[in-house]
Structure 1
Amino acid sequence: MTQPRQLPPAPAPHARKRSPIPWVIFAVLVVVAGIVLVPKLLDDGNADNGTLPVAAAEQDPLLVAVQKCDPAKTGMKLSDNNRKLTVKGAGEKSSDGLSASALTCVFDTLQVPGALVDRMYGTVEDDGGLQGDWPGYAVSWTNDQDEGLKLTVTRS
């Protein structure tokens, strides 16, 4: 008996190697998209405001300053839905108002820049009313040696 003739095995189809370049390009695009889009998605709209002081991170920084620095409310007054703080410092002839240490407490609580504080204390009556600002706040003030430093801080 004859055996059927066996055919040689069929050659394996040519295995084509795929280039990793498309996957590398895809991975780079995903990383770039993540770098660009993730900060925009996580941004809560504060990018236009610039850096806010630590006091602005609290719920109501002006109210915190009143509670912390003038609990008797003898020299500070809040108005305009807690957006405006009027502060009266004591002078040589007018002892009603905040002491120098209470004013320092206000400046520290609201994180008023040192140069602006120096400018306020360096103002004399003849200078009249002056203005300044720092991130999140604007201030106008007068300083009379007899009547003391009077300022109005407005939260923006």
Structure 2
Amino acid sequence: MTHPHETVSSTPRKRSPLPWVLLAVFIVALGVVLVPRLIGDDAQAPAPVAESEADPLLTAVSKCDQGKQQFLKLSNKNKTLSVSGAGKKFPVGLSEDGLNCVFSTLSIPGALSDRMTTTVAADGKLEGDWPGFSVTWTNDPDKGLDFSVTQTD
């Protein structure tokens, strides 16, 4: 029997799912941050040198001219790097892989490196820049891509 002041509820009281949703979001966020650190994937590509090294031009020379054939030359107290690329008729110079190494190591933006590699002799000497660096270049498919990168910071 019920008392006059009591009401009988036919449906049980529902709890809010909000605490469980917040807990799930927290766990997922924690996993996204911690799992890569715990795994320590050494196979990841290293950060470009321009972002992580104090002397990226010197690093580019040691990393990209492994044959030590002097296709990369530093001057101006290691603030200017001159690069001599190989061409079709004059194959003496830095290979395409070596040029790509320099582009990657110095974090040269893709649009700028594409522009550098697709210009022709008739375009003459061109210029470009990206944060911390400026570049001038000429490109003749027969003689190769020659450019000079100057650190501006």
TM-score by length of 2: 0.65
Indicate how the Cα distance of structure 1 residues 95 and 54 shifts in structure 2: closer, same or farther if over 3 A, else same: closer
Q: Aligned-residue CA RMSD in angstroms?
A: 1.3
Aligned residue for 1:98?
A: 94
Identity of aligned residues (%): 57
- Alignment deviations for residues 10-59 of structure 1 (CA, whole Å, 9 cap, x no partner): xxxxxxxxxxxxxxxxxxxxxxxxxxxxxxxxxxxxxxxxxxx8614412
Task: Identify the residue that residue 32 of structure 2 maps to in structure 1.
Answer: none
Q: Distance in 2 between matches of 1:65 and 1:54?
A: 8
Query: Are the equivalent residues in 2 in contact too, given 1:130–1:140 (CA < 8 A)?
Result: yes
> Is this contact kept in 1: 2:57–2:81, CA < 8 A?
yes
Counterpart of 1:138 in structure 2 is: 134
Paired residue total: 104
Tell me the residue number matched to 2:63: 68
- Partner of 1:34 in structure 2? none
- C-alpha distance in 2, partners of 1:57/1:134? 16
Relative distance call for 1:101 and 1:54 in structure 2 (3 A) is closer
Mapped pair 1:58 → 2:37: no
Q: Which runs of 5+ in 2 are unaligned?
A: 1-47
The structure whose Rg is larger is 1
